[in-house]
Structure 1
């Protein structure tokens, strides 16, 4: 399979168990899932021989990987209560892969295969295998297997992570369901272009340009559908998790207050020493100091997820644009002012525009796209001194806006992916990868386009071209 256009899973520390052989094999499964997702996004049908090859590879992976894990567990003598269900999960994996071989219809197998491997990654590797690793480390540190098992079982599980994982599974299922329809649309478009090209040779260039725009519209529509699915799946669990967290916070405060009252009663009844011993064993002082910080971190994480959902909802259903004549110079000035905090000392922004024409646009949406590009330019300077140039001019029947920086620049591989949703070059936790994809969608909805040129180490330039008159244009 070809490399994926969108990778739903990016290898990160939370996949790692700390055992090199196991982690290396997990990494291969992540690559396999991303390749499946990439094939789904491309809309290209998978042939029966390709499907058979993928299932063969999955079987070989399972045989080697399961033998590695089971040998580790046996050598450490882990508790049978963990080894038994773990072995059964391995056997079930093999049985399901073999069941998929019984059908030769890829369209029937693929949706189930997407959900199956994603579920395995989410609920086995991120849960069962992490449990195994914790027990292996505990045994290595001196606990007996029964103690290691009990300690691991006492660890809580994060319901928010489970909800987000389910949303990703829904995402891949939606991709699989959309493939057949997209294939029909693309086939119809290609046939139409072929007929027009044969009949109207002189109009060939215009027809090819129209086909490209339609394909881009299809791609943006798929992104919108995927975003809608993720936002819907996350929103409901996010609401009850947030509400439950607030309730838990109140419960915790009441329980801590109760322990303080119990201490006073114990002192009054002459049992102060016993109470202090119990209080020390339970480490009440540490719990009281640590709980507020834990709740604050959880609340902050949920707020970040909520912000992502809002962006996804914007991608999913922008609706028909409410256009009005917008003076462009004030809009550019407002975008500069709104992004001032993203520029560090020593980073200079130069404006190269004067009187500009009025453009039919949605000022709020177009302003947010400009802000995303200015913010991206500031990030490209990576905290160092540098220059950002914002220039605009009228060129024919278009307004051309350029945002240029002399920052880190991009290689060709990075430049080819910058408009993909969730793609970011920033460290984990510092970027969501949605700003540029949202900007592209907004500009396209205005009948415009974005082009990029970049040289590693020398900087990048994003060029927006907007039509000055949309009377005869279609989105």
Structure 2
């Protein structure tokens, strides 16, 4: 864990102390001037009624200014500091606006803080949930491998298990080991997707050529603004689109089409296949990590989660569209190079 830089501890005046000290200095100035003229210039130490009245008015005005500054600056800042401590202790339950902001700048600062705090809280919940899913996904094949290995280890030499059973246990171990390897590859891709966005430049035409090479059994076609450069590295975009292409291929698709259009500095790409499609009951879950409709055949359920994370880290989005007849359609939006 990276430790945040610590501010050097030393005495510093509070904002309230600075404000009130300045106001007292401003108030003391006319008093000093009046006393100076009375005692030095005129040789008398008495103040006239008008002069006393002026000083009273100056004092009242200073108190009004102090009250306004307290309500508009020092009060909201103290409340914001208290809210940060409350969020640190209670988390999402403490995410709420302040009662009073005072100035536009403090309101903007408070909103930025609440947005950042909300993202951090969501991130914490995501990491906690993701860790639980990872433990579950890794535990299942590990438990199966351990059980098969124990059965093989406990085999009685005098009455050995049938060769077919031994072969089946070994095949199960290999299958679970391969599943673990696929999970680790996906986790590595997800970690790469969540890294700060690296500057890059690629086009739909380049990615379509890469998909054709990776999936020879899938007819990949592209049209529209396929030469428009987008702000994404070729490797990152190939992984993002490749996960969609892999899902399409595994669901019986023979054709994948990419249609690109440019709108307001964003390249929108419609990705469609002619596979078996996504069941209605699964459409709301497909972007969740580890959700898979092919778990029996080795699906990890990480592909679309990686795609969404990688696109989001580069300022892009992905959404599931309604299919015309059969197959699946996604719409991807990614910033263009400008």
Cα distance in structure 2, aligned partners of 1:423 and 1:376: 13
Cα distance in structure 2, aligned partners of 1:309 and 1:372: 15
Which of 75, 80, 91 is 1:184 aligned to? 91
* Structure 2 counterpart SS, 1:428: helix
* Structure 2 counterpart SS, 1:223: helix
Q: Unpaired segments of 5 or more residues in structure 2? A: 1-86
Offset at residue 220 of structure 1 (A): 5.8
* Structure 2 counterpart SS, 1:360: coil
- Report what 1:375 is aligned to: 246
- 2:322 paired with 1:446: no
Cα distance in structure 1, aligned partners of 2:89 and 2:280: 28
Are 2:231 and 2:334, in contact at CA under 8 Å, matched by a contact in 1? Answer: no
Q: Quick one: higher RCO (CA 8 Å, sep 6+), 1 or 2?
A: 2
- After superposition, what is the alpha-carbon deviation per residue over 1:415-452, rounded to whole angstroms, capped at 9, x for unaligned? 22221122233463453322111211111111111122
CA shift in 2, pair 1:352/1:323, >3 Å: same
Which of 308, 311, 320 is 2:183 aligned to? 308
Q: Unpaired segments of 5 or more residues in structure 1? A: 1-179, 260-281, 471-475
1:91-102 aligned within 5 A: none
- Report what 1:365 is aligned to: 236
Cα distance in structure 1, aligned partners of 2:93 and 2:245: 35
Are 2:141 and 2:176, in contact at CA under 8 Å, matched by a contact in 1? Answer: no
1:275-286 aligned within 5 A: 282=159, 284=160
Cα distance in structure 2, aligned partners of 1:406 and 1:216: 37
* Structure 2 counterpart SS, 1:393: strand
Aligned length, in residue pairs:
245
Are 2:261 and 2:269, in contact at CA under 8 Å, matched by a contact in 1? Answer: yes
Are 2:91 and 2:121, in contact at CA under 8 Å, matched by a contact in 1? Answer: no
- 2:245 paired with 1:390: no
- Report what 1:324 is aligned to: 199
* Structure 2 counterpart SS, 1:191: coil
- After superposition, what is the alpha-carbon deviation per residue over 1:262-314, rounded to whole angstroms, capped at 9, x for unaligned? xxxxxxxxxxxxxxxxxxxx3x4x62453233212222213213422442454
* Structure 2 counterpart SS, 1:392: strand
CA shift in 2, pair 1:337/1:221, >3 Å: farther
1:143-222 aligned within 5 A: 184-185=91-92, 187-188=94-95, 191=97, 219=122, 222=125
- After superposition, what is the alpha-carbon deviation per residue over 1:309-331, rounded to whole angstroms, capped at 9, x for unaligned? 44245446755336132222313
CA shift in 2, pair 1:355/1:438, >3 Å: closer
- Report what 2:283 is aligned to: 415
- 2:173 paired with 1:298: yes
Higher helix share: 1
Cα distance in structure 1, aligned partners of 2:326 and 2:133: 37
Cα distance in structure 1, aligned partners of 2:334 and 2:296: 34
Which of 181, 190, 210 is 1:334 aligned to? 210
Tell me the TM-score normalised to structure 2 length: 0.55
CA shift in 2, pair 1:362/1:327, >3 Å: closer
Cα distance in structure 1, aligned partners of 2:279 and 2:91: 35
CA shift in 2, pair 1:220/1:184, >3 Å: closer
- Report what 1:227 is aligned to: 130
* Structure 1 counterpart SS, 2:269: strand
CA shift in 2, pair 1:423/1:456, >3 Å: farther
Cα distance in structure 1, aligned partners of 2:256 and 2:336: 25
* Structure 1 counterpart SS, 2:301: coil
Aligned-residue Cα RMSD (Å) equals 4.6
CA shift in 2, pair 1:443/1:182, >3 Å: farther
